[in-house]
Structure 1
Amino acid sequence: MFVRTVYATGDPANIDTAIEAVSTEGRELLERQPGFRGFGLFVDRDLGKLLAVSWWESEEARRNSDEATRERRAAILERFAATTAIDNFEAVVFHPVRQPEAGAGLRVTRVEFDPSDADLFTETFRATVIPRLETLPGLARASLLIDRDRGRGLVGALFTDREALAASRAGQSAARHEAAAKAHVTVTGLEEFEVVFADVRGT
């Protein structure tokens, strides 16, 4: 699958307005596009951050949907977003364990790597990180999204609730350290979000 992320920051006082708009109009708009496979919305209410992730069956479907929704997306986020960043990724690993629900927690690890190490990173994630994550109580889903050309990626680990998310920090840190060393990956960011919803139709 292929993924588009929309990362918006703004005044925390206005984030509920954005959540409502993205959850209704934004979600419905995406669901009407050919090749749509799923959508997730994740927020940090305290800092005023919103991460929207849409999943597509092909690179072409993702590109066409972006052209079809770009104008409305800007309008939907207008009352909240002071900054907006849009990125495209390939979902090289999608590992569902159970369906996450509202109130779940997401940890996002941002990474950079030499583009020539993309396959090494993918295989290391499958062989090293996934087995380690599966030992952590409350794991709902793990995914690896990469941009092969630019040498950037996102690791997403979803947990069933915020308590499980907090309890997993030490265990995922150990897995992250081991994988980064093996795959020659540099960690450039670490964030946690509340899950508003996260629906993906699988691979």
Structure 2
Amino acid sequence: MFVRTVYATGDPARLDTAIRALNSEGRDLLEERPGYRGAGVFVDRDLGKLFTVSWWESEEARRNSDEVMRERRPALLEPFAGTVAVENYEVAVFHTLPHPTAGGGLRMTRVEFDPADADLFADTFHASVLPRFENLPGLARAALLLDRERGRGIVGTLFTDHRSLAASRAGQAAARHEGAAKAHVTVVGLEEFQVLHADARAD
């Protein structure tokens, strides 16, 4: 699969306006596009951050949806968004357990690596990091997203509730440290979000 992410920041007091638009018109727009496989909406209400992910069955399907979504996105995010960053990734690893529930938590780890080490990173994550994640109570989903050309990636872990998210911090930190050393990656960002909506169909 392939994904498009949207990372927006703005006035926390105006965040709910964007959420309502995304959950109504935004979802309808996505579901009309061929090859759509699901989406997620995640927020940090205190700081005013909005992170969305849309999943696509092929790179072509994602690319074909870009024009429509690019035209409609500003209206969907107004008046909340002061900054908007859009990125595209390949899904290198997708592992799902119990379905995440609204009110759960997402931990997002941004990494950078030598593009030549992309396969090493994916293999290390699948063989060494993912088994350790599976032992974290409350884990609902783990995914590795790669931009091979730019040498950038995102590790996303979803938990069924905030208590499990908080309790997993030490365990995931240990796995992150070990995996980063083995795969020659550098962690450049670590954030947590509340899950408002999350679904993706890998089959």
User: TM-score normalized by structure 1?
Assistant: 0.99
Residue aligning to 1:40: 40
Residue aligning to 2:21: 21
Residue aligning to 1:132: 132
| Equivalent residue runs for 1:1-203 within 5 Å | 1-203=1-203
- Partners of 2:69 and 2:139 in 1: CA distance: 32
Structure 1 position 73, deviation (Å): 1.1
Amino acid paired to 2:66: D
Gaps of 5+ in 1: none
Which of structure 1's runs of 4+ aligned residues deviate more than 4 A? Answer: none
- Partners of 1:26 and 1:73 in 2: CA distance: 8
Q: SS in structure 2 opposite 1:116?
A: helix
- Partners of 1:198 and 1:87 in 2: CA distance: 18
- Partners of 1:36 and 1:157 in 2: CA distance: 21
Structure 1 position 70, deviation (Å): 1.2
Gaps of 5+ in 2: none
Q: SS in structure 2 opposite 1:15?
A: helix
Structure 1 position 71, deviation (Å): 1.1
Cα offsets for 1:64-119 (capped at 9, x unmatched): 10112211111101211000000000001000011001001000000000000000
Amino acid paired to 1:60: E
- Partners of 2:135 and 2:199 in 1: CA distance: 23
- Partners of 1:125 and 1:191 in 2: CA distance: 19
Amino acid paired to 1:35: G
Structure 1 position 139, deviation (Å): 0.3
- Partners of 1:47 and 1:53 in 2: CA distance: 19
Amino acid paired to 2:197: F
